[in-house]
Amino acid sequence: MIWQQLLNGLTLGSTYALIALGYTMVYGIIQLINFAHGEIYMIGAFVGLFLVVNTGLNIGVALLGAMAFCMVLGMLVELIAYRPLRGRASRLSGIISAIGVSIFLSTLMVLIAQTNTRRYPDIINIQTFQVGDLQVSSLQIIILVVATLLMVGLQLLVQKTRVGKAMRACSQDLDAAYLMGINVNRIISFTFAIGSALAAAGGVMVGIYYNAVWPYMGTMAGLKAFAAAILGGIGSIPGAMIGGITLGVLEILGVAYLSSSYKDAIAFGILILVLIIRPQGIMGQKITKKV
């Protein structure tokens, strides 16, 4: 039985990881907790659903469509709500602005789509396999595969390409990167774009997996993914992946063996524990402040 839980946890965790990556990358580069990120995930889910239902597109294409849409959305948000604050505002202002965007987007979605839960039509063929004691659904396999591909892709992007190098430089020292001739604004936009695309992918997949899409799904998932990013070590890409998966597994295990009504509290409990015991997370390093 525990293997089943682990599989479920792994699947859930991969989606958390996809969202957590966006958080961690943005925090790494501009030290901002992008509260609106959860909403991007939610909008991705809606766009995916919309494309499948209204244009009869195949789910894979819909996924790409959602990712593209959210890429643009993410960049817009950065441009409108965060860039004007960069450099001249306190951290508090940044966080408050992000909260504002988050509220705005989720409310907008409520107005557009109403609060009821939307469901996917029966076009997706989900099969369940028996592997020993395990019940594996084809959906879980798809999610795991897609998530892994995306994460591997991200690692390659960040480690092996020029853009990736620029991203890493910016997250180490924004001013120095600027002085080195890196177009910092563009790299930041790009970071938002990638993070949003990943979140959108997560959104579409979760929407299908639980067959439920509703405007407030982003708030909870966003907070949990943030907890995952902190758990893994904020600013660390491998950390976000590890944190996401760990959190997913812990949550499923908690529900199975403790209590399901406290499901949401598990993530926050972990968050608080991590911040108290080891704030730099699993992969993070202690940073001494320069005085």
Partner 1 sequence: MDALISQYIDPYYLRILMLIGINIILALGLNLITGVTGQLSMGHAGFMSIGAYTSAIFSMQMGSPFFLSLLAGAMVAAFFGFLIGIPTLRLEGDYLAMVTIGFAEIIRVFFLNFEPGGKAVGLSGIPQNTTFVLVWTLVIIVIILNAKLLNSRIGRAFYAIRENEIAAEASGINSTRLKVLAFTAGSFLASLGGGLYAHYMYFIRPQDFAFMKSIELLNMVVLGGMGSIPGTILGAVILTLLPEMLRIVAEYRMLFYGALLVILMIFRPNGLLGDVRVYDIKKKLQGKKVGLWQSSN
Partner 2 sequence: MAVLQLEEITMEFGGLRALDVVDIEVEEQQIFGIIGPNGAGKTTLFNIITGIYLPTGGRVIFKDRLLNKMHAWDVARQGIGRTFQNIRLFNKLSVLDNVRVGSHGVSRSGFFGSILGLPGSRREEKTIMEKAEQLLDLVGLGDKKLEYAENLAYGEQRRLEIARAMALNPSLLLLDEPAAGMNSTEKMGLMDLIWRIRNEMQLTIILVEHDMNLVMNICEQIAVLDYGRKIADGPPEVVKNDERVIQSYLGAEA
- CB 90 to partner 2: min, Å: 11
Give Cα 145 to chain centroid, integer Å. 17
Backbone angles phi, psi at 9, to 5 degrees: -65, -40
Binding-site partner at residue 262 among partner 1, partner 2, none, CB < 5 to 8 Å by type: partner 1
Contact 202, 15 (CB under 8 A): yes
Cα(109)–Cα(274) distance, integer angstroms: 33
Per the CB < 8 A criterion, the answer to whether 120 and 111 are in contact is no
Instruction: Tell me how crowded residue 261 is: count the other CB atoms within 10 A of its CB.
Output: 8
Q: Would you say 50 and 206 are in contact if contact means Cβ atoms under 8 Å apart?
A: no
Please say which residue, 203 or 281, places its beta carbon nearer to partner 2: 281
- End-to-end Cα spacing for the chain: 53
CB closer to partner 2 out of 171 and 189: 171
Q: Which does 95 bind (CB under 5 to 8 A by kind): partner 1, partner 2, none?
A: partner 1
Work out the number of other CB atoms within 10 angstroms of the CB of residue 59. 17
Q: Which residues bind partner 1 (CB under 8 A)?
A: 27, 31, 33, 80-81, 84-85, 89-97, 99-108, 110-111, 219, 223, 226-227, 230, 261-262, 264-265, 267-269, 271-272, 275-276, 279, 291
Binding flag, residue 260, partner 2 (CB under 8 A): no
Which runs of E-coded beta strand occur in the chain? 128-131, 134-137
By CB under 8 A, residue 261 contacts partner 2: no
Nearest-angstrom CA–CA distance, 173 and 168: 9
The option from partner 1, partner 2, none interacting with 288 (CB < 5 to 8 A, set by class) reads partner 2
Q: In angstroms, what is the minimal distance from the CB of 213 to partner 1?
A: 18
Smallest distance from the beta carbon of 189 to partner 1, in angstroms?
Answer: 18
Question: Per-residue x/- mask for partner 2, residues 270 to 289, rule CB under 8 A?
Answer: ---------------x--x-
- Residue 240 CB, nearest distance to partner 1 (Å)? 15
Residues making contact with partner 2 (CB under 8 A): 285, 288, 291
